Structure 1
Amino acid sequence: MNLFEKTIHRASIYKGAIIDLEVHDVELPDGQNSKRELIYHNGAVAVCAITPDDKIILVKQFRKACEKPLLEIPAGKLEKGEEREAAAKRELQEETGYIAEELELISEMYGSPGFSNEKISIYLAKDLKNGEMHLDEDEFLELEYYHMSEIQTMLDNKVLEDAKTIIALQYILLNYNHYK
C-alpha cells in the first residue's frame, strides 16, 4: 500500500526563532484531500549524564506549554549548522557545568511526528569533568541528582513525564551493568 501524502499547497503561517508553522493541503493515498498543520524545528539534543558516583543529573525547569516544572535530562535545540554531538556537549556544560569528553549516541526520536519534524538525539555522558554553567539569560533551572537505584521508582511512580527523559533512563536501566 502506498502511504505517501502528496503536498498540493503549503502556506507559511509563522516563522519564529525556534519553530516555523505551515499548513499543507495534501492528497491522501486514497485520492481524497486533507489539511496538515506542521511545525518545523531545527532539531534538538539531550544528554543522560552519569556522575562518577552513579548519579543521574536531571534539571528541573518550568515548562510553559505544560504550566509546571518538569524533571528532564539536560537538553536543548540545535543552532543552525551545528553538529549534534557538539550541541550535546554544549548543552550539557551550559545547563549543568559538567564537561563530557566523549558521548555515546543511545537513541534518536521524533517526539510528536504527527505534526512536528523535531528530531531529538539522545546521548550518554560519563567520565564527567567539572566546569562552569552558562545558562541562557531567559533560562532558570535547578540541578537534581538521583542515584541509579532511585530511577526505577521514579519511573514506576510516574514522577517523570518528559518522553526523552523516560526513554533515556529506561535505556540506562536496561544497560546499567554495561556502563559500570
Structure 2
Amino acid sequence: MPQTSAPVDAHLCESLVSRTELLQGHFLHVVRDTVSLPSGQEATREFVLHPGAVMVVALLDDGRVVLERQFRHPMQQVMIEFPAGKLDVGERSLVCAQRELLEETGYSAREWAFAGRLAPTIGYSNEIIDIWFARGLSLGERHLDDGEFLDVFIASPTELQAWCRSGVVIDCKTLVGALWLHNVLSGDWKLQWDHSPSDPPHRICAR
C-alpha cells in the first residue's frame, strides 16, 4: 500500500504521553515511552533510539561489488555485509557514506547515487539506514577504528545473489542492498549519479 498522508492514518497513530530513560550506554540508548492509543487507552513502548546509519553498494568497473566479513558479537558468527556505519552527531548522510567506505575498505568513489532508505528493526528501534551506490572506485589505505577487525573482499552480483538465496547472507541491510543491486543492474530501478549529490530529505512520521 502506498504511503498515505497523516489525516488518512489518524485512526492508527499513537501520541507520546511521557518518556523514561532506561539505558544510556556507549552505543545503545533505550527508552520506555508511555503512549496514548487511538482508543484513548495508554500503553508502553520500549525501543532503541538510533542516530541513523548508511550502507554503501560500491561498484567496481568490472561489475563486481565490495563486501566485508566481520564478526558480530550478538550473532556469534562472522557475517557478510556491505560497508556501513553509524552517523556521527550532525554528520551528513553522504559524508558518512564516503567516510565509512574509505575507513573500512580503503576505497573512494568518483560518483555517488542515493538509492533509498531501510528501517531494519521497526519493532524496537527507530534506526533508518540510507542506501548509497558508489562507482568510479580508487583504492587507497583504509583506517579502521580501534578494536575493529574486518576483511574486505570482492564478489560478483551473481555470487552475492546465490549467497542471499542459500542463507549464507542473512544480514538485513545486505539483503536489501542485493535487491537494489539486482534491480539497478537489470534496468528496472534507475539511479541519479552525481559527483556530489545532495542528501535525501529526512522523513518523519506525522503525529
Partner of 2:19: 10
Structure 2 counterpart of 1:89, from 98, 108, 117: 98
Structure 1 counterpart of 2:182, from 170, 173, 177: 173
Partner of 1:99: 108
- Tell me the alpha carbon deviations over residues 27-59 of structure 1, each in whole angstroms, 9 at most, x when there is no partner: 211122211002111110010111122211111
- How many Å separate the matches in 1 of 2:123 and 2:136? 37
Instruction: Give the Å deviation of 1:125.
Output: 0.8
Structure 2 counterparts to residues 29-108 of structure 1, below 5 A:
29-108=38-117
TM-score by length of 1: 0.93
The verdict on how the C-alpha distance between 1:17 and 1:103 changes in structure 2, with shifts beyond 3 A counting, is: farther
More strand by share: 1
Instruction: Give the Å deviation of 1:143.
Output: 1.1
- How many Å separate the matches in 1 of 2:65 and 2:53? 20
Partner of 2:127: 118
* Letter of the 2:116 counterpart: S
* Pair 1:130 & 2:148 matched: no
Taking only aligned residues, the RMSD between alpha carbons, in angstroms, comes to 1.5
- Tell me the alpha carbon deviations over residues 91-146 of structure 1, each in whole angstroms, 9 at most, x when there is no partner: 00011000013211111111111221111001111110111100001110011211
3-state DSSP of counterpart to 1:102: strand
- How many Å separate the matches in 1 of 2:179 and 2:79? 17
Contact 1:28 1:34 in 2 (8 A): yes
* Pair 1:144 & 2:153 matched: yes
- How many Å separate the matches in 1 of 2:124 and 2:139? 39
- Tell me the alpha carbon deviations over residues 7-41 of structure 1, each in whole angstroms, 9 at most, x when there is no partner: 22210111233331111111211122211002111
Contact 1:40 1:118 in 2 (8 A): yes
- Tell me the alpha carbon deviations over residues 58-94 of structure 1, each in whole angstroms, 9 at most, x when there is no partner: 1110111111111000000000000000100000001
- How many Å separate the matches in 2 of 1:82 and 1:43? 10
3-state DSSP of counterpart to 1:122: strand
Partner of 1:20: 29
Contact 1:18 1:41 in 2 (8 A): no
3-state DSSP of counterpart to 1:82: coil
Contact 1:19 1:42 in 2 (8 A): no
* Paired residue total: 179
Instruction: Give the Å deviation of 1:177.
Output: 4.5
- How many Å separate the matches in 2 of 1:124 and 1:131? 19
Q: Percent identity?
A: 35
Which consecutive unaligned segments of at least 5 residues does structure 2 have? 1-9, 191-207
Contact 1:18 1:42 in 2 (8 A): no
TM-score by length of 2: 0.82
